[in-house]
Structure 1
Amino acid sequence: MQEKKGRSVARHIAILLFDGFALLSTSAIAEIFQLANEIYRSRNHDHTPYKVTFYSAKGAKIRCSSAIDVWTCACDSSDVSEFDAVFIADGPGVGNALLDSRIVNWLSDLVGRGAEIAPIGEGWRLLDAAVRNRHARTFSGGMVAAVNGKGVGTSLYDMADGVEPAENALNMVGKDIGEETAREISVRIRPVGGDGLSLIFPATREDSATEKIRAAAQWIRQNCDHVTSVREAVGVAAMSERNFLRRFKQEIGVTPSEYLTQARLDLTSRLLVETRLPIDSIAKQCGWTSGARLSRVFKRRFAATPTEFRARLACRRLPA
């Protein structure tokens, strides 16, 4: 759904299941779109941007590898042209699913119309089979495409290009209804902990940046709690301010100011969940100057106060 274009029809997301699919990795995709719907509706919209439907070869109940049943629609019950994106489940049942011509033919039809397809884990084997099946059925139309290490025609699939399916789903949400919504969902579905900027930061290009810009980005992250201006990072990069601002945005993908904000948000989110410090104390420790300013930023970014944010993430954490 492209809100900026005034589209109000929900995008149809299909998730292909089979007996023995992996529930955890598949449900994560469904949850991303469900959270997007919840957040979108909470902002006083009268419709939801996504419709998620589970499909299988013959429909009805499908049992996952954890012995939990999920209700599905039959693959041939919907016109493939109505799907905006299709995710293929992972799991030990992939081998048997490869032998089901209904699944392979359905995916082949999706391949034929250039659908956006994102295989989860071993789900790539089903997509590969569909590509080969399609190629066997037609010898025209440019079906011989660039092939990646898993045999999937990458030039045919916008979403099957080496990117994790969850990232594809988040990228879709970001493009459709805003990067702020994608960031909030990312925070809510990913476990707290680890190193770096895993909670808040969207994908950046630090690994491919030049040494000077990469050093400046690292300095901003390490000093986000007390730095007052990104101009202080100019000295680290040993560049003119004008050149630094241009090169940073070009190489990292966001401006230095946005990068600083994201670094503070990441540090703040960790302290909110991993400590019981008061909001005002966390605000000062993360460079926000006051709890009031922190609250304004959080409301704008995540449609939630820091207290609400803390409660949301706390209830999602697994016990130690």
Structure 2
Amino acid sequence: MKTVACVVLPGFAPFEFGLACEAFGLDRSDDGIPNFDFRIVTPEPGIVPSNLGFSLNVEDDLSFADEADLVVITPIPRDAWVTVDERVTDVVRRAVARGAWLLTVCSGSFVVAAAGVLNGRRATTHWRYADTMASMYPEIDVDPNVLYVQDGRIITSAGTAAGLDACLHLLRIELGAEMANTIARRMVVPPQRDGGQAQFIQAPLPVSTSLSLAPVTHWALENLRLELSVDQLAARAHMSPRTFARRFKADFGTTPAAWLARQRILHAQRLLERTELGLDAVAYECGFGSAAVLRQNFTRTLGTTPTAYRARFACAPEAPAA
């Protein structure tokens, strides 16, 4: 992936637009990250108003989007959901037809839906708009409970910061875990939130739960090679398994078992990129037990084998650790 076109339309949301600029538009070559040819495009070049009372001067029309490796669709206002600019939906269809990546943030998914390329696919949008999308487009399997969904080479994401999670997910696919972690560290954000995490958590900032669970999760990350169980983690947190599971879900938006499984995969990615350990050794360090179990879980999660992943993303020994 070398070229990125970010589509903005009248009434665009500045924060979500900024996410795409931050993820794909900055020069990070001093960190060893390859730069993208990133351009902002719109159907009618010139002044494009935002939804917050200021405007953006966009110089490029949509022609660049027809050759970009990634097309990012930023949110559009509610009154534009029914009458999406046909020039944009045509660009979306052509992008899908030629196998380009397509990524939407929040209500940008309505643009892709209007193009018809989500029919028969799973997708998401902001949880407040999910029912509307499902009603407008019954052919789409709309999931309101996740941060982002990847179906083929189309990635749809929920509101606001979930768009950044989707961008980092794509960067991890294209650049590998190590470079994605470096980018996340520059952004001062967590390197990976699973797409399957809950969009809407009733108590996102509990008074004391995070402080009580932080030592447990840190210990778990340091001991992934062990056969960790919920009962064991609960005991370290001085809670009953039921209370621990409930508080963990409130803090992390996922179950302890799902969180552990994802951390094992992330650790395996790092080891495959940065070490020459054999698959059995990698499996041991990550708590999978054997290369066969590692291969099964790795392939199911990432859609590629550990060997193929290493061949693509192995880092030079002198590469900086993230």
1:203 and 2:194 correspond: yes
1:85-96 paired onto structure 2 within 5 Å = 85-92=70-77, 95=80
How far apart, CA to CA, are the structure 2 residues paired with 1:147 and 1:257?
24
Note the aligned Cα RMSD (angstroms). 4.5
- Identify if the C-alpha distance between structure 1 residues 34 and 78 changes in structure 2 by more than 3 Å, giving closer, same or farther: closer
State the one-letter code of the partner of 1:118: L
Answer whether contact 2:5 2:70 (CA < 8 A) is retained. Answer: yes
How big is the shift at 1:117? 1.7
How far apart, CA to CA, are the structure 2 residues paired with 1:256 and 1:126?
33
Q: Which moved more, 1:101-110 or 1:224-233?
A: 224-233
Post-superposition CA distance 1:203-228 (Å, at most 9, x none): 39899xxxxxxxxxxx9952466799
How far apart, CA to CA, are the structure 2 residues paired with 1:188 and 1:92?
31
1:126 and 2:111 correspond: yes
**Equivalent position to 1:109, from 61, 74, 94:** 94
1:69 and 2:67 correspond: no
* 3-state DSSP of counterpart to 1:104: helix
Answer whether contact 1:60 1:72 (CA < 8 A) is retained. Answer: yes
**Equivalent position to 1:28, from 15, 19, 31:** 19
1:1-320 paired onto structure 2 within 5 Å = 1=1, 11-35=2-26, 37-38=27-28, 41-43=29-31, 48-66=34-52, 67-75=54-62, 77-78=63-64, 80=66, 82-92=67-77, 95=80, 98-131=83-116, 145-146=120-121, 150=133, 151=137, 157-161=152-156, 164-189=162-187, 199-201=190-192, 203=194, 222-223=215-216, 230=223, 234=227, 252-255=261-264, 258=267, 300-302=320-322
How far apart, CA to CA, are the structure 1 residues paired with 2:88 and 2:266?
48
Higher RCO (CA < 8 A, seq sep 6+)? 1
How far apart, CA to CA, are the structure 1 residues paired with 2:20 and 2:182?
15
Answer whether contact 1:86 1:118 (CA < 8 A) is retained. Answer: yes
Post-superposition CA distance 1:38-63 (Å, at most 9, x none): 1xx11467xx3311111111223322
Q: How many residues align?
A: 213
- Identify if the C-alpha distance between structure 1 residues 177 and 16 changes in structure 2 by more than 3 Å, giving closer, same or farther: same
How big is the shift at 1:84? 1.4
Would you tell me which structure has more helix in proportion to its own residues? 1
How far apart, CA to CA, are the structure 2 residues paired with 1:175 and 1:95?
32
* 3-state DSSP of counterpart to 1:78: helix
Answer whether contact 1:21 1:94 (CA < 8 A) is retained. Answer: no
List gaps (5 residues or longer) in structure 1.
2-10, 135-142, 192-198, 208-218, 240-247, 262-298, 303-320
How big is the shift at 1:27? 0.9
TM-score by length of 1: 0.51
How far apart, CA to CA, are the structure 2 residues paired with 1:16 and 1:28?
13
How far apart, CA to CA, are the structure 2 residues paired with 1:153 and 1:127?
11
How far apart, CA to CA, are the structure 1 residues paired with 2:195 and 2:104?
23
Post-superposition CA distance 1:171-202 (Å, at most 9, x none): 222233332332243344367xxxxxxx3555
Answer whether contact 2:6 2:39 (CA < 8 A) is retained. Answer: yes
How far apart, CA to CA, are the structure 1 residues paired with 2:9 and 2:260?
42
Answer whether contact 1:20 1:91 (CA < 8 A) is retained. Answer: yes
TM-score by length of 2: 0.51
State the one-letter code of the partner of 2:57: V
State the one-letter code of the partner of 1:159: I
How far apart, CA to CA, are the structure 2 residues paired with 1:235 and 1:78?
50
- Quick one: percent identity of the two aligned structures? 14
List gaps (5 residues or longer) in structure 2.
124-129, 142-149, 199-211, 233-256, 271-318
